[in-house]
Amino acid sequence: MAIKFTEKYLGSFIRPEEMSAIREETVAASRTLTGRTGAGSDFLGWLDLPATYDKKEVARIAAAAEKIKKTCDVFIVIGIGGSYLGARAAIEFLHGNYYNNKKKDTPDIYFVGKDISSSHLQDILSVCEGKDICLNVISKSGTTTEPAIAFRIFRDLLVKKYGDGAKDRIFVTTDKARGALRTQVNEIGYESFVVDDDIGGRYSVLSAVGLLPIAVSGADINAMLEGAAKARADFAGEDFEHNDCLRYAALRNILYRKGKSVEILAVNDPALTLTCEWWKQLFGESEGKDGKGIYPSSATYSTDLHSIGQFIQQGERVMFETVLNVNCEDGFTIPTDPQNADGLNFLAGKSVNTVNQKAFMGTVMAHTDGGVPNIVIELNGRTEADFGYLVYFFEKACGVSGYLLGVNPFDQPGVEAYKKNMFALLNKPGYEDKKAELEARIAKLD
Ligand code: PA5
C-alpha cells in the first residue's frame, strides 16, 4: 500500500453508528460513479485510464520528452488550472522545491500562462535569455485567455530565435478536433497530444496533460501510471469497511453535515505544497457549487504552525484536517554541539525526520484537543508510484464525495462568470451589452 489511511485520531468526533448510517449512501454514490449513471458521467475517462491507457501514446510522450531533454536548457509549460497544477505538483513531489536549481541532465522547467502577471512573464523571459528553449502549451479548450496570451509571447520569442525551427520546439496538448490550438497544429504542424473528451482538466494529470512535463523532469511516467493502477485495483470494491476511498468520502460528508465546512489538507513537507494546490482545485471545482461544498484549504507544517496554526488551534471551529504525513527517513541527522549553547543536544543524533514525526504527532494531538477532527493519511515514499497512487485515491474519493454531497463533480459552470466580465471590460466582440451593464454598475460605485 502506498498510503495508510487512519481514522484513529477522529476519536469522539465521529461515532461508529454515524459511519454505519452513511454506509449505504456512500456505496450508492460509488455505484453511481463506477456505473457511470450520475451527472457528468461523460467525464469519467480518468476512472479506468491507469488500466486502459494507450501504451503507444505514452511511449510517444516519453519519446517527445527525450527529444525535449536533448534540445533545450529551459522547458516552458503553458497552462492554467487542471492544465498545469498536476504536472507542477508531481515535479515538486518527486524533486522537491528546488528542481530547477539542482545539478541534473534535464531542462529547467517553468510554468507560465497560469496568471496574468506581466512581471511574472518578464521574469521568465529574462530567465530564457541565452538559453535553448522548448515549450508545451496545454489547453483542453484551446481558448483559455491566460495560456493563450503566454503562448503568443513565447511562440514569438521562439520564432525570433529559431525561425522555421521554432515549429520543432513547440509541443501542443489540446482537444483532438476543436479549438484555436488544434487549428494551429493543423496549419503549422506542431507535434501534438490529445486531451480526451471524457477527461476534465482537474482529472487530467495522468493523461498527456501532466505526463509530458513530468517526463521531461526525468520521472518514470510508466511507474506513475502503475501506482495509479494499483490504487484503482485497491479501491475498486464496494466493501465500505475496507475501502479507504469510500471511507474518506463518507467521513468528509459526515463532518460537513455536522457544520465542518472547511477542510485543511495539511502536509509536513514543502515538497507537497503544490500537491495541496492540485487537491484544492480537484475538490474546490468538483464540489463547490449549488450553494454547497466543503471549502478546501491547505497548510504546510511546521511552517504554518507559526502562522495559521493559531487559528486552527483556537479560532472558529469550522474546520477539519486531512493530514498527509510524509514519513520518509533520509538519515539526515542533527549534529552534536560540545558546548550545547542552544540546549539542543537532547536532539543530537536524531534524524530530522524523527523530529518531524514527533511534530506531526504533537500537532494531531493538539489540534484534536482543540476541537479539530483529524483524518490522517500516512505516506512512506515520494516515488512516481506513490504520486500516481495518491492522485487516483483523491480523484475517486472526490467523485464519490461529490455524489454524496448531491452535486455534479465534473462540471465547473461558475468559472465562466469572471471570464464574461473580463471579456466585456476588454471590448471582446459579442460582449457589448454586458460591457454597458458592467460599466454603468462600476460608475455607480464611485
Ligand atoms: O478543471 C478544469 O476543467 C479547469 O480548471 C481547466 O483545467 C482550466 O480552466 C484550463 O482549461 P483549458 O485546459 O481548457 O485551458
CATH number at residue 199: 3.40.50.10490
Q: Which pLDDT value is given to residue 330?
A: 78
For 199-241, the pLDDT digits (tens) are 999 999 999 999 999 999 999 999 999 999 999 999 999 999 9
Q: Is the pLDDT of residue 440 over 60?
A: yes
Q: Do residues 286 and 402 lie in contact, with contact meaning Cβ atoms separated by under 8 Å? A: yes
Q: Is the CB of 40 under 6 A from ligand 1?
A: no
**Does 306 participate in catalysis according to the annotation?**
yes
The verdict on residue 53 lying in a domain is yes
- Which three three-digit cell numbers place residue 87? 504536472
From the CA of 415, how far away is ligand 1's center (Å)? 9
Q: Is the CB of 277 under 6 A from ligand 1?
A: no
The verdict on residue 426 lying in a domain is no
From the CA of 253, how far away is ligand 1's center (Å)? 26
For 265-309, the pLDDT digits (tens) are 999 999 999 999 999 999 999 999 999 999 999 999 999 999 999
Question: For residue 147, which atom of ligand 1 is closest to its CA?
Answer: 15
The verdict on residue 395 lying in a domain is yes
Q: Are both 263 and 399 inside the same structural domain?
A: yes
Q: Are both 336 and 242 inside the same structural domain?
A: yes
Q: Are both 297 and 334 inside the same structural domain?
A: yes
Catalytic site residue from 8, 103, 306, 444 = 306
Residue whose Cα lies nearest atom 15 of ligand 1: it is 139
Per-residue pLDDT, averaged over 10-37, amounts to 96
The whole-angstrom distance between residue 57's C-alpha and the CA centroid of its chain comes to 23
Strands of the sheet with 295-300, listed across from one edge? 3-6, 374-379, 319-326, 262-267, 295-300
- Which three three-digit cell numbers place residue 422? 473580463
Residue 111, classed as helix, strand or coil, is: strand
% of residues, the chain, pLDDT over 90 = 97
Closest CA to 398 of 285, 230, 271, 231: 285
The verdict on residue 414 lying in a domain is no
The verdict on residue 257 lying in a domain is yes
Determine the structural domain holding residue 364 and report its residue range. 3-37+226-405
Q: Is the CB of 200 under 6 A from ligand 1?
A: yes
Q: Of 156, 191, 219, which closes a domain? A: 219
DSSP assignment letter at 335: P
DSSP assignment letter at 54: -
Q: Are both 185 and 235 inside the same structural domain?
A: no
Closest CA to 199 of 64, 54, 8: 54
Q: Are both 383 and 234 inside the same structural domain?
A: yes
Q: Are both 241 and 346 inside the same structural domain?
A: yes
The verdict on residue 306 lying in a domain is yes
Q: Is the pLDDT of residue 246 over 80?
A: yes
Q: Is the pLDDT of residue 1 over 60?
A: no
Q: Are both 214 and 276 inside the same structural domain?
A: no
Q: Do residues 357 and 327 lie in contact, with contact meaning Cβ atoms separated by under 8 Å? A: yes
The verdict on residue 355 lying in a domain is yes
Number of other CB atoms surrounding residue 40 within 10 Å: 18
Q: Which residues contact 171 (CB under 8 A, 6 or more apart)?
A: 64, 68, 134, 135, 136, 137, 190, 191, 192, 193, 212
Distance CA 187, CA 167 (A): 11
Banded model confidence at residue 329, pLDDT cuts 50, 70, 90: confident
The verdict on residue 389 lying in a domain is yes
Helices (H), 217-341: 221-234, 244-257, 273-287, 309-314
User: What one-letter code names the amino acid at 88?
Assistant: R
Per-residue pLDDT, averaged over 10-15, amounts to 92
Banded model confidence at residue 333, pLDDT cuts 50, 70, 90: very high
Q: Which residue has the cell 533520509?
A: 330
Q: Do residues 90 and 142 lie in contact, with contact meaning Cβ atoms separated by under 8 Å? A: no
**pTM for the model:** 0.97
DSSP assignment letter at 235: T
For 133-189, the pLDDT digits (tens) are 999 999 999 889 999 999 999 999 999 999 999 999 999 999 999 999 999 999 999
From the CA of 277, how far away is ligand 1's center (Å)? 14
Distance CA 374, CA 364 (A): 7
Phi, psi of 379 (to 5 degrees): -130, 115
Q: Of 219, 250, 270, which closes a domain? A: 219
Closest CA to 268 of 354, 393, 384: 354
**Does 419 participate in catalysis according to the annotation?**
yes
For 337-375, the pLDDT digits (tens) are 999 999 999 999 999 999 999 999 999 999 999 999 999
% of residues, the chain, pLDDT over 70 = 100
Q: Do residues 221 and 215 lie in contact, with contact meaning Cβ atoms separated by under 8 Å? A: yes
Q: Are both 63 and 205 inside the same structural domain?
A: yes
**What's the mean pLDDT when you consider all of the chain?**
96
Total domains in the chain come to 2
Q: Are both 242 and 349 inside the same structural domain?
A: yes
- Which three three-digit cell numbers place residue 22? 452513511
Residue 139, classed as helix, strand or coil, is: strand
Q: Are both 213 and 232 inside the same structural domain?
A: no
From the CA of 82, how far away is ligand 1's center (Å)? 5
Q: Are both 382 and 276 inside the same structural domain?
A: yes
Q: Which pLDDT value is given to residue 263?
A: 98
Per-residue pLDDT, averaged over 55-65, amounts to 98
Q: Are both 180 and 233 inside the same structural domain?
A: no
